[in-house]
Amino acid sequence: MIIPWISFLKEDEQLLVEGLTRRWTVNGPKVFFSWPGLRLRRRKGTILGPGEYLRIRDTLTGELRNELGPKLYLPTATEEVIETLSAITLQNNQYIRILDRSNGVIRVERGEGAVYLNPTEKVLEGVRQGTNIDERTAVLLRDTRTGELELISTPQVFFPAPNQEIVEVLERIVLENHETVVIKDRSGAYIFKRGTDRDRAFFLEPHSELVEFCWSSGIYKDRRDLFLTHIDGRPRFMWYDFETRTQDNVELIVGITFFWQIVEMESLVRTTDDPTGDVCSHARSVIIQSISQVTLEQFLAEFNSIVRQAVLGNADNFYGERGLRIHGVEVRSIACKDPNTQQILLEIIQETTNRLNMLQKQEGENEVKLKQMQGEIQAEALKGELIELRRQHAQAEALTGGEAEAIKVKAFFEGLGDNLSPADKLAIFNTLRKQDALEAVSAGDAQLYFTPDHVDLTIEAKPH
C-alpha cells in the first residue's frame, strides 16, 4: 500500500509540482496529496501594492509581460519573476518620453497618472516639467521627422508630441528706448531692431540669431573681450591711456576721457567691428601729432585745448563714417614716463599748488579784514544815526518843554495885572524862581552857602 504525502497550503502559498513529463502548480488554500515520483516545491506568492508591478517571463516562449498591482500574484509553472518595478508617477504639469525598443516608436505620457513601462520600453529622458508659454516665453521645436523648426508662442502649458523635441526655450526680447539689436536672418541679412520701434518686444524667428559684437576694452584698449548684443545708444564715457612725446623729447603717458555716442548702427556694422578701438586709435594718432609740435611747458599750459583741437577740430569724417559722434574729450591725467622727469614735474606741480594755496590763504585773510572793516563802518554809521536821532529827540523835547514854560510865564505876568510895571513883574518872577531853586536844593543832601548878596544881613555894633 502506498501512503501519499499530504501538503496543506495557505492563501498566499502554492506548490510547484514536477512530474516525469510535466510541471504544474497548485495554489492555496488547499490540501494536496502527492504520490511517489513527484517533486514538490513550496513557494510564497508576491504581494503587489498600488503603483507596483512585476516583469514576468515565460520560460517556454520567452515572452515578457507585466503583472500590475494591487494583487497577490502566484506564477504559473512556466513563469518566473524577473524584477519588481514601481510605476512612474506624473503630476499634472509633467511628462515623460518613452521608447519602444522593439519598433523604435516614441510615445509621450502626460500627468496626472501612473506610467507602467512595457517590457520592451525604456525611458528616453527623466520626468520633465511642461513648459509654461506666456507673453515673455516661447518654445522653439524641431520636428524629428522633417527636421523643420517651429516657434510656439501661444500661451499654454506645452508638452511636446512624440515627433517633437524642444530645441530651446526662448525669452521674449524687450528693448529699452535707447537699445538696438542686430538680427541675422536665415539668408544672412542683417535686421536692425530699435527700442523706439513699435515691435520693440519680439521672439527670434527660427534660423535667426542675435549678432554678438566683440569690442576692445581696458584702459589701453588692448583686449578684445567686451561682448555685447544690446547696443546702448546713449552718450557714454570712455577712458584711454597712451604714450606720446613732446617737441622737447619728453615722453608722457596721457590719460584722456571721451564722451561719445553711437548714432547710426547701420554705418557702424557696415564699416567696423571694433568702434571703441577705432575711436581710441584714431584719437591717439592725431593727438600724438599735435603734442609733438609743442614743448612740455606749452602742453602743460594748454593741454585740454590742444587735445580738443586735435580730436574735434579734425576735418576728416572718420567718426561720422562709422556712425559715431564725439561730444567731448578731456585730459584726465598726465605723467612722465621717466621717473626722474616725473619727480621734477611733481615738484613743479607741488610748488604751483603751494603758491596757489598761499594766494588763497592771503585772499581769505584779506576778505576777513575787509569784512571786519565793513562791519566797523556799518557800526559807526549806525552809531551816527543813533546820535542824530537822540539829538533830534532832545531838541524836540526841549522845544516842547520851553513852550510849556513860556505859557506858564505868560499866564503869571498876565495874572499880576496892569498895575505893576514889567520890571516889577520880572523882579517878582525872579524872586519866586530863586525860592523854587532853594527848595529843590534843600530837599537833597547838598549844603547851602549864602553870600551877603543873597540875604539882607546887617551887622551893627551897639554900645553897652
Residue 249 pLDDT more than 70?
A: yes
For the domain with range 213-337, which CATH number is right: 3.40.190.10, 2.40.30.10, 3.30.479.30, 3.55.50.30?
Answer: 3.30.479.30
With a pLDDT cut of 70, the percent of the chain lying above it is 92
Distance CA 44, CA 15 (A): 9
Copy the grid coordinates of residue 331.
Answer: 585730459
Would you kindly state where each structural domain of the chain is located, as residue ranges?
173-210, 213-337
Residue 413 pLDDT more than 80?
A: no
What's the pLDDT at 463? 57
Question: What's the pLDDT tens digit per position in 196-207?
Answer: 999 899 999 999
Residue 36 pLDDT more than 90?
A: no
Going across the sheet that includes 64-68, the strands are 64-68, 52-58, 79-86
Q: Are 71 and 82 in contact (CB under 8 A)?
A: no
What's the alpha-carbon Rg for the chain, to the nearest Å? 59
Question: What's the pLDDT tens digit per position in 116-167?
Answer: 999 999 999 889 999 999 999 999 999 988 989 999 999 999 999 999 999 9
CA atoms within 13 A on the CB side of 70: 2
